[in-house]
Structure 1
Amino acid sequence: MKQMWMRAGVLATVAIAVTALGVPAQAQAGRLSWKPTVLPLPDGPNSLGYLTGSNGHGEYTGSFQVAGKFQVVSWRGGKPVVRGVPEGYEWAMAEDENSAGTIVGTAIDYDTSVTRSFVLDATGFHLRDTPAGYKDTQSRAVNSRGDVLGSVFHSDPAQDATIVWPADGSAPVIIPKVHEYQYPMDIDEDGTVLFSGPDQPLLWKDGTYRSLVAPGFEYASGYGIRDGVVVGSASDGTVAGSRAVRWDPAGAMTFLPGGDAAYALNRAGLSTGTAPVPGSFRGKPIAWRGSTPGGDLKRPGTYANFQARLVSDDGTFAGTASDRPLDEGGLPVVWRLTP
């Protein structure tokens, strides 16, 4: 299942001033501390899952095993709401959520192994049509205006491509690959698509590609984009040589201190990634305000593994925690700034 997916981010209200980066003014000069809250799971038999999206207004969404199958679950006011799966499908993975509460993801039919991209909004699930000539679709991300980024799969893998379903309902845009190892990662507010390429990130807009370079490094990857700013990593080809980086809209790269990778950012430039820990494959979560260290994300309880892969526009972080490897899923966690 993991290989199949490879085929293919206003603080809690506080009575203090908030800067443009969503951080209390008097805390700017100090080391910040982000306190975790483990969210409750739905009633009944359940297990681990993935927290993957937020509307930036207190709702968090992901996919968790409920009643023996992966279903979309949202947390509102800290309480879980089971959203279910599209009719006729047995498995649903939520991938992203925008400020309007529109959730995008992928559903799987166990009997046929068909995968279909879906949109979930206040009126329910809506499956995206599979373009002629392709057999499967998957979703990756959605921007604020509702453009959906995904992948389409052909019987000939060499013809797999990226797809954008425009928010206005017009015909989907198919973006052929220019490299074999080219994966869609995120979509910006203006429709720019971020790809993680074989050696460096690629930006696509209106049929034109642009590369992001990492001077002095052999490889670079981009994971998130917002208003032209990209976060990711640069490496000399070794694990020890990986650095968290940030590209501005002009393509100039800066380092994010203390990190080996950055995965997501919000509209105010608050971003999250990982800091290396000796003997740990995943490291520990770390935050930045722009390109400045943004404080520590505390361990949830005594869980051995924890990671924040999302930063919401309200200034909170979200992710998972578990005593098992996190690629097997975890418990939903939200980090808020300690007053």
Structure 2
Amino acid sequence: MRAHAWMTALTAGALVSTMICGSAEAATDCAWSGTPLPHDGVTAGTAQVLAAPGDILGFGDGRLLRWHNGTLTSTVLPDGATQLRLRGADGAGRVAGTINSPQHAITVRDGKITEYPVPTGASNGEARGVNQRGDVAGFATGPGPQQRRYLIWTDSTTGNPTEVLVHADQFRTLSGIADDRRLVLDWATTDGHTRAATFLGGTATLLALPEGATDSWTTAVAGSWIIGKAGTQPQRSVVWDPTGAPRLLPAGFDAVSVNRSGVIAGYLDGQAAVQTPDGTVHQLGSGTELGSVADDGTVLGAAGGVPTTWTCR
């Protein structure tokens, strides 16, 4: 099968962190502190994505939450959906995500939810990432229950998807889309291994392995920074910088989000933490749930069920 031409053409209160240095030379000029967001009427919620300056989106009580210049509004999810997961924003303030029960790929802009269509015969659309230009990557299922169909939505008005058909049997999963339109995914190799890879123009490019590893997996991408896992047991989190060079993260650090400057949010020994590009790790306090790390360095999440943002001041 051939790829589409598009693919070919291309706790309320201040929460001050404990700093742990990732190397003896690492230093910091600021301290990370948390700021609770207004949460009137929300019994539990999480800030997930910074859509644009002053515009934060999240989820709580079965509703889309939006903090616009500090004012909270909430919107019932469409079609009776009960869960929402947002996976990043483009340069125009459009956020991509997925609603569940039933499941649809969506975007949110200015607080308005738009559902994306899937190809005829498919269902259960899921968005896995969005790049700066607004390309949304995801997948759908069907018509067979085990048939996963990989999709790119490039038209921000109609949302009509392009289907990525080449080597679909070697796609293990899709983790996002880079700003240069490379898909970031896990690739089944012919020798039985799984490798973190990028895919563009019908061709997969395997990402370099850290020394000693034979397998790798992707988690997320922002710009040209990719995070994932490598190794066997135990697996270690790894970051690939824009040159493609891999770097293992500290033992016990589970990376879940990265921004376009290489700031990584995750969990260190089960406690939310941030690693800055100089290798310094900053813990954000117990009881913290991570949403993502925005391109301006803001970490979004919740503390004790209260939507919260963290910044380094």
TM-score band, normalised by shorter chain: 0.7 to 0.9
Report the counterpart of residue 275 of structure 2 in structure 1: 288
TM-score normalised by L of structure 1: 0.72
Write the distance in 2 (CA, Å) between the matches of 1:197 and 1:249: 20
Write the distance in 1 (CA, Å) between the matches of 2:83 and 2:97: 7
Do 1:52 and 1:310's aligned partners in 2 also have CA atoms closer than 8 Å? yes
Deviation by residue 1:44-67 (Cα, 9 ceiling, x = unmatched): xx43344321125132212211xx
In structure 2, relative to structure 1, the CA distance for the partners of 1:50 and 1:174 (3 Å cut) is: farther
Write the distance in 2 (CA, Å) between the matches of 1:152 and 1:250: 31
In structure 2, relative to structure 1, the CA distance for the partners of 1:316 and 1:257 (3 Å cut) is: same
In structure 2, relative to structure 1, the CA distance for the partners of 1:297 and 1:318 (3 Å cut) is: farther
Deviation by residue 1:239-268 (Cα, 9 ceiling, x = unmatched): xxx333211334321123455332222222
Query: 1:170: Cα distance to partner?
Result: 7.8
Report the counterpart of residue 193 of structure 1 in structure 2: 183
In structure 2, relative to structure 1, the CA distance for the partners of 1:50 and 1:139 (3 Å cut) is: farther
Aligned with residue 70 of structure 2, among 78, 88, 91: 78
Query: Aligned-pair RMSD on alpha carbons?
Result: 2.7
Report the counterpart of residue 119 of structure 1 in structure 2: 107
Report the counterpart of residue 95 of structure 1 in structure 2: 86
Report the counterpart of residue 118 of structure 2 in structure 1: 130
Write the distance in 2 (CA, Å) between the matches of 1:246 and 1:49: 29
SS at match of 1:40: coil
Report the counterpart of residue 267 of structure 2 in structure 1: 274
Number of residue pairs matched? 278
In structure 2, relative to structure 1, the CA distance for the partners of 1:178 and 1:50 (3 Å cut) is: farther
Write the distance in 1 (CA, Å) between the matches of 2:29 and 2:255: 19
Do 2:212 and 2:231's aligned partners in 1 also have CA atoms closer than 8 Å? no
Query: 1:123: Cα distance to partner?
Result: 7.8
Residue type of the alignment partner of 2:122:
Y
Once the two structures are superposed, the pairs formed by residues 1-339 of structure 1 within 5 Å of their partners are 29-30=27-28, 32-43=30-41, 46-65=42-61, 70-86=62-78, 88-91=79-82, 93-96=84-87, 97-108=89-100, 114-122=102-110, 124-167=112-155, 171-176=160-165, 177-179=168-170, 182-197=172-187, 199-212=194-207, 213-238=209-234, 242-257=235-250, 259-276=252-269, 283-290=270-277, 292-299=278-285, 304-322=286-304, 330-338=305-313
Do 2:134 and 2:154's aligned partners in 1 also have CA atoms closer than 8 Å? yes
Write the distance in 2 (CA, Å) between the matches of 1:139 and 1:83: 20
Write the distance in 1 (CA, Å) between the matches of 2:312 and 2:242: 28
Write the distance in 2 (CA, Å) between the matches of 1:230 and 1:260: 15
Write the distance in 1 (CA, Å) between the matches of 2:291 and 2:103: 24
List gaps (5 residues or longer) in structure 1. 1-27, 277-282, 323-329
In structure 2, relative to structure 1, the CA distance for the partners of 1:99 and 1:83 (3 Å cut) is: farther
